[in-house]
């Protein structure tokens, strides 16, 4: 998998960061990424097999308005496989039994001919989408077309949004039908750099998804000396990509991050908040209190959502609890993707943001009033209903 823009590596490759999310970390492996399994007829039929056994422990799903009854009855939660959500993270375990069929598999790149050489790639862009050998998303860390996850963050996000519902297996997702497109820009140790992010944003510009989720937009800029000129050069590279995504009117959902300071104070936060297509989410717990170290702002954070001890999918058919504002952002990503499925082009970015922060578009929680623009905690059902008006 060849990705352009590697020229930037010279400037920024030493800028690494660690994911601050508490998650189950899998040891890096030298294994070759697995090819995607085909969803069997039995898997496809399983969608009405019965309630998922772990549903009762999914406090976060229930908290955002999706009780067991709502899950089964509300047509707004169906979604649509035509809606494509790019997940910029650590990859996704696309062979997880609760995710198979929900992650984009590029059949044009996986024909017998497409798997001709010894590495499994023919080094051709068989479907002419501008990406060579992109079989399951794009991996800009290892430069291949299998964005497989051995870390856990991306698989956790995928499960929150779209774990298969009512297949009598594991957990339930917020939406039943959606196509997840993984872009792996964070390695197995949770580290990345600005060059990886820029390459991942280039993939977004080629794929043109309906919604983009970004695991982490917080980077140490300017090198070890925090050189102001270098910081501005890096900011300008990032803005070039974000400007193009904004032109395409694609909503980008991101967590506010974890730090002792509030959101909006760092140079990067200021860049993020200057984009009206970027939705910033902070994290709450089961008692609707702000999570420890979750960044907040009543002017620059849009809303809050559950992001603490959230039960979700983990690689290798596992399940686990994850914490971090990124996982709160995953809930909002699903809500926005459902809105895209239902209202399509009629949905403007202004409507989307205004509804998310409005009184009718979420659950207003007094104790969260200072922490986001509307003081809301996400309620997916209310959000979709309010958008209809
Ligand atoms: Ca291709
Ligand atoms: Ca890979
Ligand atoms: Ca399930």
**pLDDT per residue as tens digits for the range 66-117:** 999 999 899 999 999 999 999 999 999 999 999 999 999 988 887 655 554 5
Percent of the chain whose predicted confidence (pLDDT) is above 90: 72
User: 129 versus 288: which is more confidently predicted?
Assistant: 288
What are 344's two structure tokens? Answer: 């399509």
Ligand 2 centroid to residue 153 C-alpha, Å: 15
Whether 215 and 89 have beta carbons less than 8 Å apart is answered as: yes
State the ligand closest to the CA atom of 91.
Answer: 2
Phi, psi of 299 (to 5 degrees): -115, -25
Residue 88: CA atoms inside 13 Å, Cβ hemisphere, count?
A: 27
Query: Whose CA is closest to 214, among 135, 261, 268?
Result: 268
For residue 57, the model assigns a pLDDT of 97
pLDDT in tens, 307-327: 999 999 999 999 999 999 999
Coil vs helix vs strand at 80 = strand
Tens digit of each residue's pLDDT (9 = 90 or more) over 249-270: 999 999 999 998 899 998 899 9
Q: Which ligand is nearest to the CA of 312?
A: 3
Averaged pLDDT for residues 137-159: 95
pLDDT at 35: 84
Q: What is the pLDDT of residue 117?
A: 53
On the question of pLDDT at 10 being above 60, the answer is: no
Cα–Cα distance, 157 to 315 (Å, whole number)? 11
How close is the Cα of 140 to the center of ligand 2, in Å? 8
- Identify the nearest ligand to the CA of 124 by its number: 1
- Ligand 3 centroid vs 103 CA: distance in angstroms? 14
pLDDT of residue 38: 77
| Ligand that lies nearest to the alpha carbon of residue 99, given by its number in the listed order | 3
- Ligand lying nearest the CA atom of residue 55: 3
**Ligand with smallest separation from the Cα of 185:** 2
CA–CA distance, 337 with 161 (Å, rounded to integer): 9
Who surrounds ion ligand 3 at CB < 5 A?
A: 52, 98, 164, 167, 169-170
For all residues of the chain together, what is the average pLDDT?
88
Residue 8 half-sphere exposure, CB side, CA atoms within 13 Å?
Answer: 21
* Ligand number, closest to the Cα atom of 110: 1
Distance, CA of 2 to CA of 202 (rounded, Å): 12
Helix (H) or strand (E) holding 246: helix 228-247
State how beta strands 362-364 and 376-378 pair: antiparallel
CA distance 316 to 242: 34
- Ligand 1 centroid vs 101 CA: distance in angstroms? 19
Which pTM does this prediction carry? 0.90
Ligand lying closest to the C-alpha of residue 149:
2
Whether 315 and 93 have beta carbons less than 8 Å apart is answered as: yes
pLDDT of residue 49: 79
Q: How distant, in Å, are the alpha carbons of 98, 256, 370 from that of 266?
A: 38, 11, 19
Which pLDDT value is given to residue 319? 98
Please state, for a pLDDT cut of 70, what percent of the chain lies above it: 89
160 Cα: distance to centroid of ligand 3 (angstroms): 11
Q: Which residue has the tokens 């920024």?
A: 12
Residue 127 has which token pair? 């479907």
- Closest by CA to 333, choosing from 288, 286, 269, 380, is 380
Rounded CA separation 382/97 (Å)? 30
**329 C-alpha to ligand 2 centroid (Å):** 24
| pLDDT for the residue numbered 19 | 41
Q: Which helix (H) or strand (E) holds 156?
A: helix 153-162
Rounded to the nearest angstrom, the distance between the alpha carbon of 33 and the centre of ligand 2 is: 6
pLDDT at position 119, please?
A: 53
What local confidence, expressed as pLDDT, does residue 218 receive? 83
For residue 208, the CA-to-ligand 2 centroid distance in Å is: 21
- Which range has the worst mean pLDDT, 10-19, 30-39, 331-340? 10-19
Q: Which tokens is 71 given?
A: 């899950």
Among all chains, which residue has been given the structure tokens 């009033």?
369
| CA-based nearest residue to 184, from 140, 136, 238 | 140
What's the rounded mean pLDDT across residues 112-132? Answer: 70
Average pLDDT over residues 339-357: 93
Kindly report the backbone phi and psi dihedral angles of residue 179, in degrees, each rounded to the nearest multiple of 5, phi listed first.
Answer: -110, 115
Of 106-120, 218-232, 369-383, the one with minimum mean pLDDT is 106-120
CA distance 290 to 170: 27
Alpha carbon distance 19, 189 (integer Å): 8
Rounded distance between C-alpha atoms, residue 215 and residue 270, angstroms: 18
Q: Which domains does the chain have, with CATH numbers?
A: 6-387 (3.40.50.200)
Nearest CA to 322 out of 267, 372, 255, 275 is that of 255
CA–CA gap between residue 388 and residue 363 (Å, rounded): 17
Q: What is the pLDDT of residue 344?
A: 86
For 211, the token pair is: 């919604």
Structure-block tokens of residue 308:
């603490």
Give me the mean pLDDT over the 112-139 stretch. 76
Report helix, strand or coil for 360.
helix
How many Å lie between the centroid of ligand 1 and the Cα of residue 339?
A: 28
């Amino acid at each position: 998998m060849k990705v352009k823009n590697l020229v930037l590596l010279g400037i920024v490759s030493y800028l690494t960061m660690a994911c601050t999310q508490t998650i189950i970390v899998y040891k890096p492996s030298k294994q070759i990424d697995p090819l995607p399994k085909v969803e069997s007829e039995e898997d496809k039929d399983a969608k009405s097999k019965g309630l998922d056994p772990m549903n009762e422990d999914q406090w976060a799903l229930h908290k955002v308005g999706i009780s067991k009854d709502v899950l089964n009855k509300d047509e707004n939660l169906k979604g649509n496989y035509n809606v494509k959500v790019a997940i910029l993270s650590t990859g996704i375990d696309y062979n997880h039994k609760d995710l198979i069929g929900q992650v984009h598999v590029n059949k044009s790149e996986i024909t017998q001919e497409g798997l001709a050489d010894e590495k499994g790639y023919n080094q051709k862009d068989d479907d002419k989408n501008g990406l060579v050998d992109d079989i399951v998303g794009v991996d800009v860390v290892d430069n291949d077309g299998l964005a497989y996850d051995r870390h856990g963050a991306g698989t956790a996000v995928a499960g929150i949004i779209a774990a298969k519902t009512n297949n009598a297996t594991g957990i339930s997702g917020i939406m039943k039908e959606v196509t997840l497109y993984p872009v792996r820009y964070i390695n197995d140790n949770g580290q990345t750099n600005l060059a990886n992010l820029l390459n991942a944003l280039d993939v977004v510009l080629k794929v043109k998804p309906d919604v983009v989720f970004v695991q982490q937009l917080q980077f140490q800029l300017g090198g070890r000396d925090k050189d102001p000129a270098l910081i501005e050069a890096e900011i300008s590279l990032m803005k070039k990509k974000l400007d193009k995504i904004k032109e395409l009117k694609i909503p980008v959902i991101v967590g506010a991050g974890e730090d002792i300071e509030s959101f909006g104070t760092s140079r990067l936060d200021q860049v993020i908040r200057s984009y009206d297509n970027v939705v910033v989410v902070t994290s709450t717990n089961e008692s609707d209190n702000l999570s420890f170290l979750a960044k907040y702002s009543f002017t620059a954070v849009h809303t809050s959502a559950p992001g603490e001890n959230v039960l979700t999918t983990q690689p290798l058919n596992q399940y686990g609890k994850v914490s971090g504002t990124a996982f709160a952002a995953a809930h909002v990503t699903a809500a926005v993707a459902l809105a895209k499925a239902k209202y399509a082009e009629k949905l403007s970015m202004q409507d989307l943001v205004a509804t998310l922060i409005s009184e009718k578009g979420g659950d207003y929680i007094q104790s969260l009033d200072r922490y986001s623009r509307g003081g809301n905690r996400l309620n997916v059902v209310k959000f979709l209903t309010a958008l209809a008006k």
